[in-house]
């Protein structure tokens, strides 16, 4: 960060690596899928680049890592953090939480977008106009249900960070989770309703960064670009 923002806590959004369904565009909620070999390579590459002492995600500066209970997220954490993750876990700084589970897709589990729309139309619902951010998923989660669990997690994160807006104590947080869920988290972090039209992309194995403006817990922000620490 720049000098004026130095010390401001950050939240790192770490999406799991590629799976067969993420590669094919299928909605993957509760289904347990392993990372593909390419997905493991994605995570190992990003982890080697950004996780470690003096790197962007410095284990010594982490207050907590929250991980989705899905195996693909658990494996991503293990690969990206390696021994650092084991040490943080021993210190009680790693926890699994259902609040980071992927959006519950219900009837749409395993389907592609065009299949979802076709199915909705066959059931007399609006197919072409379907928007998960507004309409949620049949027999799955509504946008309001996802909002509630993410808002609860944000409260916990504020508990780590509110008293440390100027770097008084290292309190960065990492979330290891899923594509839809982390984009939903970003909307709620910025205090936008789910239906707010904010187009976002997050590649498998990629990392996003959230923080605050003016060292103020009431001014959440996202970094559209991030500077990497200078290696001594």
Catalytic residue positions? 16, 102
Strand partners, 65: 94, 174
Please identify which residue in the block is written with the tokens 């926890």: 95
33, 43, 88, 115 from 180: Cα distances, Å: 16, 18, 27, 18
Could you identify the residue written with the tokens 């980071």?
100
- Residue 104 marked in a binding site: yes
Confirm or deny that 83 is annotated as ligand binding.
no
Question: Rounded to an integer, what distance in angstroms lies between the CA atom of residue 193 and that of residue 173?
Answer: 23
138 is in an annotated binding site: no
Angle, CA 93 vertex, CA 169 and CA 61 arms, to 5°: 35
Q: Tell me if 113 is assigned to a ligand binding site.
A: no
**Does the annotation place 102 within a ligand binding site?**
yes
| Cβ proximity of 153 and 147 under 8 Å | no
29 labelled as ligand-binding? Answer: yes
Binding-site residues for substrate, in ranges, read 28-29, 72, 102-105
Binding-site residues, in ranges, read 28-29, 72, 102-105
């Amino acid at each position: 960060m720049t000098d004026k923002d130095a010390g401001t806590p950050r939240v790192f959004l770490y999406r799991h690596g590629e799976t067969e369904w993420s590669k094919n565009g299928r909605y993957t909620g509760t289904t347990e899928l392993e990372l593909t070999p390419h997905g493991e390579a994605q995570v190992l590459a990003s982890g080697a680049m950004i996780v470690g002492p003096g790197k962007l995600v410095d284990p010594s500066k982490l207050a907590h890592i929250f991980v989705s209970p899905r195996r693909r997220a658990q494996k991503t954490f293990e690969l990206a953090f390696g021994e650092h993750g084991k040490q943080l876990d021993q210190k009680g700084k790693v926890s699994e939480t259902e609040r980071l589970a992927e959006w519950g897709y219900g009837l749409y589990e395993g389907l592609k977008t065009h299949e979802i729309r076709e199915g909705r139309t066959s059931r007399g619902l609006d197919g072409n106009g379907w928007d998960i951010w507004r309409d949620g998923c049949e027999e799955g989660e509504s946008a309001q249900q996802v909002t509630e669990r993410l808002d609860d997690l944000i409260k916990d994160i504020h508990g780590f960070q509110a008293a440390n807006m100027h770097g008084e104590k290292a309190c960065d947080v990492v979330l290891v989770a899923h594509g839809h869920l982390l984009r939903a988290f970003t909307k709620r972090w910025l205090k936008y309703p789910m239906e707010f039209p904010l187009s976002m992309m997050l590649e498998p194995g990629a990392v996003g960064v959230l923080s605050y403006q003016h060292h103020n817990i009431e001014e959440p922000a996202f970094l559209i670009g991030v500077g990497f620490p200078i290696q001594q």
